[in-house]
């Protein structure tokens, strides 16, 4: 559990430090503390003000991207991540975040591209490897079983069947079906939402 008192004390110390030295790089840590306590507006403002002084401070730009993503400003977050990748193309965390944003927008090919780069840079990243397989839709869970055979039949690649799989606790199968639905219909907002729900359920199950 997050130590809220500790976060409040840390914010106060960083605010005092910034008051003494407005040019301090500590603005990034302060912004991240604001983000962790849900003060996203202050986090964004603090990052942007600091980046005006230190435009090449990658850590601050990444914190800004995470905060914008938490606020639902996906394209703005992607813009910050893209700026980092222009100068740091091997930043694994940025590739993961870019993949998440593209996935949420239904741009699965772009998400796959970033996940491929993340896995190439960090072959031990099992979560990105598993997501990559799902988003490529190149793996059928339980392929030899009855459900595996069903999932190879395009007749069952529908939003309704994906939702049914999710309701039955079959998160991997739901994610695979919904991914294939989105590949046919990238603008299907309900399929995007259900895919995110399936991925969250899958993540909870794996701990």
Residues written for the chain: 207
Distance separating alpha carbons of residues 178 and 135, to the nearest angstrom: 9
pLDDT digits (tens, 9 = 90+) for 112-131: 999 999 999 999 999 899 88
Angle 27-36/58-70 helices, nearest 10 degrees?
Answer: 20
pLDDT digits (tens, 9 = 90+) for 157-201: 899 999 999 999 989 889 989 999 998 898 999 999 999 999 999
């Amino acid at each position: 559990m997050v130590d809220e008192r500790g976060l409040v004390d840390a914010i106060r110390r960083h605010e005092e430090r910034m008051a003494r030295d407005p040019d301090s790089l500590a603005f990034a840590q302060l912004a991240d503390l604001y983000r962790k306590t849900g003060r996203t507006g202050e986090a964004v403002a603090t990052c942007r003000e600091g980046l005006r002084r230190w435009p090449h401070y990658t850590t601050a730009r990444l914190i800004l991207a995470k905060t914008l993503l938490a606020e639902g400003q996906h394209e703005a977050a992607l813009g910050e991540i893209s700026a980092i990748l222009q100068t740091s193309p091997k930043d694994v965390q940025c590739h993961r975040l870019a993949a998440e944003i593209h996935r949420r927008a239904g741009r699965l090919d772009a998400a796959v591209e970033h996940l491929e780069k993340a896995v190439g840079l960090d072959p031990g990243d099992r979560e990105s490897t598993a997501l990559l397989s799902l988003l490529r839709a190149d793996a059928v869970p339980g392929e030899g079983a009855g459900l595996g055979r069903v999932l190879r039949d395009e007749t069952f690649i529908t939003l309704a069947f994906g939702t049914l799989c999710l309701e039955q606790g079959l998160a991997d199968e739901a994610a695979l079906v919904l991914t294939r639905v989105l590949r046919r219909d990238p603008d299907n907002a309900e399929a995007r939402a259900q895919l995110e729900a399936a991925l969250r359920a899958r993540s909870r199950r794996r701990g």
